[in-house]
Amino acid sequence: MTQDLPVRDVARALVFDPDQRLLLIAYESVRPIDPARPDARTFWFMPGGGLEPGETHVEACRRELSEEIGVADAAIGPQVASCDGPFHLFKAPRFARERYFVVHLPDDQVDTSRLAETEDNPVLGTRWWTLDELESTGERIEPAGLARVARDIIDGTNPASPVVLTWQPFTSGTPHDGAPLTQTP
């Protein structure tokens, strides 16, 4: 159930390169994400992670970018979105309270050599996505609506207040709200 999940405050970044591409990390889910494709376990997420005691979201975002992509002292832009709710694709399910910030890098050079050691789930790789690719992919991108937020940022339309996003529907085993899935005849 949702109330039994530990709460985790998280800071993530929409990291853009000069070509307006968005950096995402591929993870392997601990459970299938599509009952029609039981071997499908890959999902893509922004760099970032949990806050350490006493950290602000901005401080955590900066630390996570240093740990995961080797970018120290990144200029952290405004918070543009959030996503709160149960998340079950990582080894340790949690009620995630995520805040998303904008980061523009001067180039596309990242160092992910330390990424796997900081993660709970297997890391499959990283990729710079064009917005067209992001909007048309059949890959699972978390959270739902990320491509729209990224497009708005690139088009110069930062939201006046953070956009509220939701997790993609969980299609196997347990949905994101923690209730068992029901079978329809």
- Please tell me the class of the 2-165 domain: alpha beta
Alpha-carbon span 158 to 25, nearest angstrom:
23
**What element of type H or E holds 51?**
none
Contact 42, 121 (CB under 8 A): no
Residue 171 has pLDDT above 60, yes or no: no
Alpha-carbon span 4 to 174, nearest angstrom:
14
Q: What are phi and psi of 3, to 5 degrees?
A: -70, -15
Contact 134, 146 (CB under 8 A): yes
Question: Which residue's entry shows tokens 């196997």?
Answer: 172
Which of 96, 101, 26 lies closest to 65, judged by CA?
101
Q: Is the pTM of this model over 0.85?
A: yes
Parallel, antiparallel or unpaired: strands 79-87 and 48-50? unpaired
Percent of the chain with pLDDT over 90: 65
Contact 62, 102 (CB under 8 A): no
Residue with the bigger pLDDT between 181 and 163: it is 163
Q: Is the dihedral of CA 173, 177, 179, 185 positive or negative?
A: negative
Residue 147 has pLDDT above 60, yes or no: yes
Residue 94 has pLDDT above 70, yes or no: yes
- What is the dihedral angle through the alpha carbons of 138, 143, 146, 147, rounded to the nearest 10 degrees? 0
Alpha-carbon span 31 to 97, nearest angstrom:
21
Residue 172 has pLDDT above 70, yes or no: no
Q: Is the peptide bond before 106 cis (omega within 30 degrees of 0)?
A: no
Q: Is the dihedral of CA 129, 130, 134, 139 positive or negative?
A: negative
Domain spans, the chain: 2-165
Mean pLDDT throughout 125-139? 95
pLDDT value at position 2? 54
